[in-house]
Amino acid sequence: MPNRTTIAAVPAKNIGPLLKQFCEEPQLYLQYDISISQIAKLIGTNRSYLSKHFASEGITYNAYINGLRIQHFINLYHETVATQQSVTALQLARQSGFRSYSTFSAAFKQAKGMTVTEWMRDHAK
C-alpha cells in the first residue's frame, strides 16, 4: 500500500495511475457503497486531496465512479448480446454497482445523451 505522506507530496498527475491500480483494476467501483474516503485511503491520500484531483480533471467523484460503472454495464450488455443471454437493464445495472435503477438511468442519460432503453435498442445488433 502506498505511503500516505509520500502520496500527498506527489503531483496530482500521479493520482490517475494509483486510481487505476487500486480502484479500476480490482473493480472496486462495483461496490455500490464505495466512498471517496475509502478510495483515498486505499491509494494513500485523503478525501480532500482526491477531491481536488477530480476537480482538476473537471469531474466529481460520483461522475468518475458512475462512468466506470456505465462502462462496465456496456461491456456486460455486449457480452450478453453476444452470448444471446436474456437479462434486463436493471440486472446489468445492479451487476455494475448501481443500487438504484433511477440513479443508474439518470447517470446513463447524462453520460450518453440518451436513455438506457434507446441505447440498448441502438446496440442490440
What pLDDT is attached to residue 95?
97
**H helix intervals, 46-114:** 47-56, 61-82, 89-95, 101-112
What pLDDT is attached to residue 1?
47
Domains in the chain: ranges and CATH: 4-58 (no CATH), 63-122 (1.10.10.60)
Indicate the pTM of the whole model. 0.87
Tens of pLDDT along the chain (125 residues) come to: 444 444 454 456 688 899 999 999 999 999 999 999 999 999 988 899 999 999 999 999 999 999 999 999 999 999 999 999 888 999 999 999 999 999 999 999 999 999 999 999 998 76
Name the grid cell of 27.
473493480
The residue type of 115 is T
